[in-house]
Amino acid sequence: MDIKQPKGTKDWLLGEVEAVEQVEQALINIAKLYGYAGIRTPMFEHTELFTRSVGDSSDIVRKEMYTFMDKGDRSLTLRPELTAGVIRSVVEQKLLHTQDLPLKLYYVGPAFRYERPQLGRFRQFHQFGVEHIGITSPLSVAETIATGITVLEMLGFENVTVSINSLGDEATRLAYKEALKSYYEPHLANICEDCKQRFQTNPLRLLDCKIPSDHQLGLQAPVIGDYLSEASQAAFKTVQEALTSIKIQWKLDPQLVRGLDYYSDCVFEYHFVSKTGKDYGAIGAGGQFPRLVEELGGPSVMSVGFAFGIERILALLTDAGRLEGVRSYVDLYIISMEPLTDQYAFRLAHNFRYTNFKTELNLEHKSLKSSIKSAVKRDAVYAVIIGETEMKSNIVTIKNLQTQEQQQVPVGEVVHLMQHLTNQPGHHHHDEEGDHHE
């Protein structure tokens, strides 16, 4: 039976997993630097959560969701994004009533969309993001945007810019939607079928069309900046001034609307241009959402957040050669030369692991030359060789696989020696022979 991975999915193999873990840990560390706490939500939710929050008119809901009926005849959906689930959890668990606001949360996890696979984009993909819930100042929006910039710069991206736009408050959008309808009405016969539907359900999404002729039409459309209320203008100006004050490169993009219906006010995208001048386009995005919490049964609070696709970040880092040094390695590779020494080697491996050494135990009983080759393949730093002579003398042979130097050490001193050689701080451990039972 020849069963392959489903289209749009990926097996993460040796070395790749370490790269994913390194990037994810860096993202988490930066989120904590900005005062965010972690949250994890289910990978599937009731379908209504996404139709209400993401919006019936969005491409995600109309074309990309994995929806199924469970055995209780309930409609469930694999999450296409994580914000809706986070807000659902915050409301359901009453965090806005038990925690001080604003509430700052980060997440990392898989999401699912049925879309055409391409560079760094999969049908099962992983997102990292933050939600800043219950904000009261436009400066919190600027701080959130700055968090994303810091994430990218600390990962090694240079020439990062952020495109920003304001979708305004509700009064702004109502006026702007009417202006868009007036502009597009004479062109209805010539636009794509999706845009004809967007014209009826959410005219703002007309500006997001990727079909060249419709995209060109959108470039000539009225801009929302001309319809912003005074309050929206003032708030957006504060965000711009704050970003400028901390030397973040930003540019105004009047066409930027984002694809999720819950966004309003400030929306933004992160863009990266390589040293060779290659423009990779948007590598992350976010915006403000003032109504989502209330729509899901919570109080009326303003929030802001962003998300990055981890696969896309990995693809760009790999393209830039920034993950070449990431590898899976072990500190110590213990070689038991014969069956008689296996138990001795087994106990020693346990003690090394207990003292925080990444340790591999070889019980293959091959020639020493062959076993050393295996240690080198595992990128081991040291080989620990145990034969009958070592066991009877209560010693081990330590070989530095980089310098080829080796020495014999009493077993009672080996852990302390390795801590010294690797500059590793001491950690609680069992007695070196592994006999820790009374």
Strands 75-78 and 124-135: unpaired
Name the residue among 338, 410, 415 with its Cα closest to residue 382.
415
Fold of the domain built from segment(s) 332-421: Rossmann fold (3.40.50)
Q: Please tell me the CATH code under which domain 16-169+229-319 is placed.
A: 3.30.930.10
**Type of residue numbered 102:** P
Query: What per-residue confidence (pLDDT) applies to 438?
Result: 34
C-alpha span between 210 and 221 (Å, rounded) = 15
Collapsed DSSP state (helix, strand, coil) of residue 33:
helix
Q: How many CB atoms lie within 10 A of CB 242?
A: 19
Q: Can you give the pLDDT of all 438 residues of the chain as single tens digits? A: 899 999 999 999 877 898 899 899 999 999 999 999 999 999 999 999 998 877 665 667 777 899 999 999 999 999 999 999 999 999 999 999 999 999 999 999 999 999 877 665 799 999 999 999 999 999 999 999 999 999 999 998 888 899 999 999 888 888 888 999 999 999 999 999 889 988 988 888 888 788 899 989 988 999 888 999 999 999 999 999 999 999 999 999 988 877 566 788 999 999 988 777 777 778 999 999 998 999 999 999 999 999 999 998 988 888 877 776 667 788 999 999 999 999 999 999 999 999 999 999 999 999 999 999 999 999 999 999 999 999 999 999 999 999 999 999 999 999 899 998 887 654 443 444 444 333
Query: What per-residue confidence (pLDDT) applies to 428?
Result: 40
Domain with CATH 3.40.50.800 in the chain: 332-421
Write down the H helix ranges in 383-435. Answer: 388-393, 414-421
Query: What per-residue confidence (pLDDT) applies to 54?
Result: 72
C-alpha span between 39 and 50 (Å, rounded) = 19
Question: E strands along 274-411, which residues?
Answer: 279-288, 302-309, 332-336, 359-362, 382-386, 395-400, 406-410
Structure tokens at 196: 């004809």
Structure tokens at 279: 């423009």
Q: pTM for the full model?
A: 0.82
Query: What per-residue confidence (pLDDT) applies to 275?
Result: 75
Domain with CATH 3.30.930.10 in the chain: 16-169+229-319
